[in-house]
Amino acid sequence: MAIERTFSIIKPDATERNLTGAINAVIEKAGLRIVAQKRILMSRREAETFYAVHKERPFFGELVDFMISGPVVVQVLEGENAVLRYREIMGATNPESAAEGTIRKLYAKSIGENSVHGSDSQDNAKIEIAQFFSGNEIVG
């Protein structure tokens, strides 16, 4: 199977509740390796760029405000089928629909404040990683 990289964000609702370590434990237990990680405060422009695909959606303003409301932890995760694997352990966008044991089932507060982001394709993973990390910050 292919070793891939995906991009992850631990969102402000989770950093606020001191859940970075708990979420990282789920990630590592699933066999994904955290090969880059930093805690940052996103600028409004960074958040708007990151979620540009959703700019026509009714929740766009709320989403951007939330993503800049506190620190986030941006990460690069590496492993077999990392994009799909991370989506599996994140769980559904809405925690009420998320499977038992997933990060969102365990920790998300709502469909908006849902604790984690993970890339939805290999192409988007590459774009998202490049938005936040330079090559020498990623150590596999």
- Residues involved in catalysis: 117
Give the binding-site size for ligand IDP (rule: CB under 6 A): 9
The yes or no reply on residue 68 touching ligand IDP (CB under 6 A) is no
Listed ranges 19-27, 58-66, 68-76, 123-131: which one lies at the site for ligand IDP (CB under 6 A): 58-66
The yes or no reply on residue 111 touching ligand IDP (CB under 6 A) is yes
Number of H helices, E strands in the chain: 7, 4
Listed ranges 21-29, 36-44, 73-81, 107-115: which one lies at the site for ligand IDP (CB under 6 A): 107-115
Sheet with 33-40, strands from edge to edge, namely: 33-40, 72-80, 3-10, 116-118
* 120, 122, 124, 138: residue in contact with ligand IDP (rule CB under 6 A): 120
Contact between 108 and 95 (Cβ < 8 Å): yes
Query: How far is C-alpha 52 from the chain's CA centre?
Result: 16
Contact between 35 and 140 (Cβ < 8 Å): yes
Separation CA 59–CA 75 (nearest Å): 24
Binding-site positions: 11, 59, 87, 93, 104, 114
Positions in the binding site for ligand IDP (CB under 6 A): 59, 62-63, 93, 111-112, 114, 117, 120
